[in-house]
Structure 1
Amino acid sequence: MKIIDAHIHLDFYNQYEINQILNLEFLEALVSVSTNLNSCKKNLQLSLNNRKVKAAFGFHPEQRPPNEQELESLIKWMKKHKDVMIAIGEVGLPYYLSKEGKVSEKEFQLYAELLEVFVKLAKEWDKPMVIHAVYDDAPIVCDLLEKYSVTKAHFHWFKGDEATIARMIENGYYISVTPEVVYKEKIQRLVQIYPIDQMMVETDGPWKFEGPFVDKKTEPTMIKQSISTIARLKSLSEIEVAEKVLNNTKQYYGF
């Protein structure tokens, strides 16, 4: 069984942990997403050091947005290295910061404008996107993607209502499923609804999980249990699911 981790923050791990992850025999590749310019630079180097690492460049929305100079520097750097990046990501909207009351309506508009910049770049550069957008933020992102006719959208660790799920399926957007599927009913319901042909698997490591993964370091081995759960929910064999999500990821990201 070969596995691709479709969404991980590899640059957040220390070098010993990175070596352990990349030496996993079953791991064919991983998509290491970036949080800011410094993260982009680290992921570029990781991808140059090991062919298993596919780097995505972007700015994570769950933090203070970049000022004009910071954004200009990031875009300039991304343009210089766009031929080696697998995708634009992680980008999106700050649902959790907003939920905590840390983002005003005016500030939220800044995040939306920033995301629009990345959507335009995805269209211009013909790059797939790795998107952080859940619940009420997801329809806003769908509006932007539709506005610019961007069809290659990967909503990682997605959570949302049935109307948005139906819209995403119709538009051909992909989702990726974390180890949370093993113990969370709402994620299991999503898996039952969403087509297997538009599904990937991820860890979002080093994010820590609960259930059977309590106090365990997050790494791609956990994906095997995700695949087992998806297989049960979809009434498929584990091999069928593993091959399908592997091929889906290769097709989406073009490697």
Structure 2
Amino acid sequence: MRKIIDSHIHLDLYKENEMREIMKELASAGCTDLISVSFHLESCLHNLRLAKTYSQVHTAFGFHPEQELPSDEELQDLFLWMEKHQEQMVAVGEIGLPYYLRSESKGDFSNDGHIELLEQFILKARQWDKPVILHAVYDDASIVCDLLEKHGVEKAHFHWFKGDSKTVERMIENGWFISVTPDVVYEQEIQELAKVYPLDQIMVETDGPWRFEGPFSGKMTHPNMIHKSVVSIASIKDCRKEEVYGILYENTADFYQFSPSKRERNRT
């Protein structure tokens, strides 16, 4: 079985029986590691418990942007907790800007507070020497790039990215990574992104439990879907499947600095 890593999943948001099924089937799926990202403090706590239970789970702690801003007290509690548990996280995330929340709002919606919050997380990531995992699509992506460049962030992972060609060129130039979901199998926009983005700056993800269409319609999102993603990327890049499997795996392992010591640290 060819090895894969799910570089972005919300493992804590699955139903308990679904989560157990996924973890039971990881080995047969060839999936050696998962990056489970967090929504808020409660989510961080849940992900840390999962990481202590399963050596394959690596945690990222943060505050998902597609929700109301935290109160000052909530944010202080989160930052203090992250400071205490920084050795148990491989990245700060998921963080970013609320493109979909803003798009669905009717009228007045200010991004200012969200931009300020994102900058605070970026500064914390720099302080703790951690990569950032970003939710930044379409119009928001250039704002996020501005902040990353302002603070000299070298290790940035844009998950399920969508955006214009100028922003894509900017991200490539900065050496930042993207990860693509199983919709690369059937979604032209993602296929075009995979075609132009350098293979050595790509990872693969599920973003589960988010569900997909096409050949995945009606199915629980599972890391085993990544194999179809890899096959599609190989076809798009006109490369051998074995080569693509190896590059995508090493991209993720190197970016997140996986090692036996990292696994042991997650369990302490």
Map of 1:209 onto structure 2: 212
For the pair 1:193 / 2:212, whether they are aligned, the reply is no
Q: Is the 8 A contact 1:5 1:201 kept in 2?
A: yes
Give distance in 2, aligned partners of 1:160 and 1:73.
Answer: 33
Counterpart for residue 4 of structure 1: 5
1:145 equivalent in structure 2:
148
Deviation sequence 1:44-64 (CA, Å, 0-9, x none): 010011110000000000001
Query: Which of these residues, 136, 146, 159, is aligned with residue 139 of structure 2?
Result: 136
- Matches of residues 63-212 of structure 1 in structure 2 within 5 Å? 63-101=67-105, 104-106=108-110, 108-212=111-215
Q: CA deviation at 1:101?
A: 1.9
| 1:226 aligned partner | 229
> Is contact 1:130-1:153 (8 Å) kept?
yes
TM-score for the superposition, normalised by structure 2:
0.93
For 2:126, give the aligned amino acid. K
Supply the AA of the counterpart residue of 1:55: T
| Separation in 1, partners of 2:85, 2:188 | 40
| 1:58-78, Cα deviation, whole Å (9 max, x unpaired) | 000000110100000000000
Determine whether 1:18 maps to 2:19: yes
Corresponding residue for residue 241 of structure 1: 244
Unpaired runs of at least 5, structure 1: none
2:33 pairs with 15, 29, 42, which one?
Answer: 29
Letter in 1 for 2:84: K
Shift of residue 242, structure 1, vs aligned partner: 1.1
List runs of 5+ in structure 2 lacking aligned partners: 259-268
Deviation at 1:149, TM superposition (A): 0.3
Percent identity, please: 54
- Give, in whole Å, the separation in 2 of the partners of 1:44 and 1:103: 38
> What is the SS of the residue equivalent to 2:218?
coil
Helix, strand or coil at the partner of 1:217: coil
Q: Deviations over 1:141-180 (max 9, x none)?
A: 0000011101110000000000000000000000000001
Q: Work out whether residues 97 and 103 of structure 1, in 8 Å CA contact, stay in contact via their aligned partners in 2.
A: no
Cα drift, residue 79 of structure 1: 0.3
TM-score, length of structure 1 as denominator length: 0.98
Deviations 1:193-249 (A, max 9, x none): 000000000000000111111111001011000000000000112111111111000
1:19 Cα offset (Å): 2.0
2: CA distance, partners of 1:216 / 1:93: 29
CA offsets, 1:78-106, max 9 Å, x none?
00000110100000000001111268443
